[in-house]
Amino acid sequence: MKELVGLCSQCGKEVFCLDGFFSGIVTEDKKILCFECDEEIKKTRRLASL
């Protein structure tokens, strides 16, 4: 089963619940991010801390 949960707050991509598994993350401030944007944010933070 595939259900639309919402849109990524960064890129606007549709984020789904696939067979009970959420295909993204919810941030502390309750925003939805797709996995790709979450990884990009983490990468940017790592580079900034160097």
pLDDT tens string, the chain, 50 residues long: the values are 999 999 999 999 999 999 999 999 999 999 999 999 999 999 999 999 88
- Look at residue 37 and give its three-state secondary structure: helix
Q: Residue 45 has what pLDDT?
A: 92
The reported pLDDT for the residue numbered 50 is 83
Could you state, in order of their start, the residue ranges of all structural domains in the chain? 2-48
- State the burial class of residue 33 (Cβ atoms within 10 Å of its Cβ: 0-12, 13-18, 19+): buried
Check: CB of residue 15 under 8 Å from CB of residue 8.
yes
pTM: 0.84
